[in-house]
Amino acid sequence: MERNQPAGAAAFQDAADPAIVREVGLRDGLQSIARTLPTAAKLQWLHAAHAAGLREIEVGSFVPPRLMPQLADTAELVRAALALPGLTVSVLVPNIKGAERAIESGAHAMLLPLSASHAHSLANLRKTPDDVVREIAGIRRLRDAAGSRCAIEVGLSTAFGCTIQGRVEPAEVLRLVRAALDAGAERVGLADTVGYADPRQVRELFERAFEVARPYGVNSANGEQRLACGHFHDTRGLGLANVFAAWEAGVRRFDTCTGGIGGCPHAPGASGNVATEDVAYLLASMGVPTGLDFDALIALRGAVAGWLEGEPLHGHIWRAGLPKTMKEAA
C-alpha cells in the first residue's frame, strides 16, 4: 500500500492547481435532445453559467441546421457569449465549412471531433479517422491563412471503447493523439463518449497520452499543456471515479453538462455526461480550486430541469447537498 505514497503525495501537493470545468450542456447536452430549447432560455443558461463562475463554455455547434436544428442559433450564442467578461467561448465544428463559420464568429476555440473507433467515425462523421486527421490539417491551414487566433482542440471520442466496435486499441488512440498534434491541433482531449471507461484504464491511457504529447511542448499562445481535456459520461456510474483518475494522471480540464444531460446520438445507451455540479463538488471536496459557486450551479440545474421538463436529468450531489464539513469550510 505504501507504494503509492510518494506519487500520491506529489499529486496531492498539486491539489492547489486550479482545474477548468467546461460547461458543454448547450452543445453536447442539447444535441442529444430532440426538442429545440428556445434561444432565450439558452441565453439565460449561458448567463447563469457565467455568473456561477464557469469561464469556458461550449455554446453550440456549426453543423448544418437541417442536421441539428437544436443548435441552429449557435452564431447568436457566440455573439452573446463573447460579451461576457473572462469567458472562453468554444464551439463544435464537424468539418471545414463549420470551421469557416467558427472563425467568422470570433469564437475563441473550436472543438473538432475525431473518433478513435473506425466504426463510430463512419457512423458519426461518415469519414475514417485518417480522413478526419487530413481535414484537421486543412482547418489549421485555413485558420492560419485567415489570421485567426481561434484555438484548435481535437476531441478524441470513443477513446475508451465503442458501443458499435467494442474494444478500441490504446495504440490506435495514441497514434491518433500524435496524428492530431502533427496535423496542427493545439490541444487534444480524450473522451469516453459511451460510458465504457474504468478508472484504471483512464489513468493508464492518460499517462501514456501525456508521454506522447510531451515532445510537442506547451501551447505557445497560452502555455497550456497539449493533452488537456477529460470528457466522461456516467452511463455506468463510473463517471466521477474516471474524473478522479484523470485528475490523478494530471488532467486539469474537464467537460461537464449541468444536470448530467447529454450523450451521443450514434452511441445507444450512452446518455449522461458527468454533471457540472457533481464535478464541481468532487474537485472542491479535494481542495482543487475551480472558481465555481456551488449554490449557483444547483440553481442553474433547477432552471435547466424546468426548461427541459420531461427530459431525464442525472447527477448526484443535488439530492443530498454539500456535507456539513464543506459548509463549515465555506
- Distance between CA atoms of 252 and 229, rounded to whole angstroms? 7
Quick check: 206 binds its own copies (CB under 8 A)?
A: yes
Other beta carbons within 10 Å of 177: 29
> Judged by CB, which is closer to its own copies: 29, or 195?
195
235 three-class SS = coil
Kindly state whether residue 324 participates in binding its own copies, applying the rule CB under 8 A: yes
Q: Which of residues 256-275 bind its own copies (CB under 8 A)?
A: 269
- Measured distance CA(86)–CA(249) in Å, rounded: 28
Least distance between its own copies and beta carbon 25 (Å): 18
Query: In the complex, what is the shortest distance from the CB of residue 102 to its own copies, in angstroms, rounded to a whole number?
Result: 29
| Spatial CA neighbour of 81 closest among 166, 31, 133, 22 | 22
Q: Nearest distance from residue 284's CB to its own copies, in Å? A: 9
- Is 229 among the catalytic positions? no
- Of residues 33, 105, 65, the one with CA closest to residue 263: 33
Q: Is 289 in the site for its own copies (CB under 8 A)?
A: no
CA distance 249 to 190: 13
125 CB contacts (<8 Å, ≥6 apart)?
94, 113, 115, 132
**Active-site option among 150, 162, 229, 264:** 264
Query: Is residue 126 near its own copies by the rule CB under 8 A?
Result: no
Please list the active-site residues.
264
Q: What residues line the site for its own copies (CB under 8 A)?
A: 1-8, 10-12, 15, 161-163, 166-167, 194-196, 198-201, 203-204, 206-207, 210-211, 214, 225, 227, 234-238, 240-241, 243-245, 248-251, 269, 278, 281-282, 285-287, 315-317, 320, 323-325, 328
